[in-house]
Amino acid sequence: MLTTQLFRFLAVGILNTLFGYSLYALLIYLGLEYTYALLFATIAGVIFNFHTIGRLVFQSRDKRLIGKFFAVYAITFCVNLLLIKLMVRFGLSAYLAGAFAIIPTTILSFLLNKFFVFKGKQHETY
């Protein structure tokens, strides 16, 4: 079950990441500072990601879990921002730093969603 969920999480995550990173890069291109670009890209992706991750990865339509899901995004946002800031300080561009931060924040996001948001039995509330 864990391998199937992880595979689905990664597959859905590709779509979610393409959307989020494209928006992040576009906002930087339009002149927004990377901190705000990351914040707006994260906010824009949360609702879409809640539905895709909940339904396609964990077979849940339980809308009551959105508060926990937002908490996971707040945590991953902070970790993501910290990683980007560190890499920018070491001379990486904000574009590359954002791309490199994807891997550790993806792992963190999966673990928090699996064991905090969608833990236990599958949720079937519609």
Summarised one tens digit per residue, pLDDT across range 35-57 is 999 899 988 888 889 988 999 99
- CA distances (Å), origin 6, targets 2, 10, 56: 6, 6, 11
* Positions in the chain whose pLDDT score sits under 50: 121, 123-126
The predicted model scores a pTM of 0.74
For residue 79, the enclosing domain spans 12-117
Helix (H, G, I), strand (E, B) or coil at 93: coil
Residue 94 maps to a domain: yes
Can you say whether the dihedral through the CA atoms of 41, 44, 49, 52 is positive or negative? negative
Give the Cβ contact number of residue 87 at 10 Å: 18
Residue 124 maps to a domain: no
Spatial separation of the C-alpha atoms in residues 80 and 105, rounded to whole Å = 6
Total domain count, the chain? 1
Residue 6 maps to a domain: no
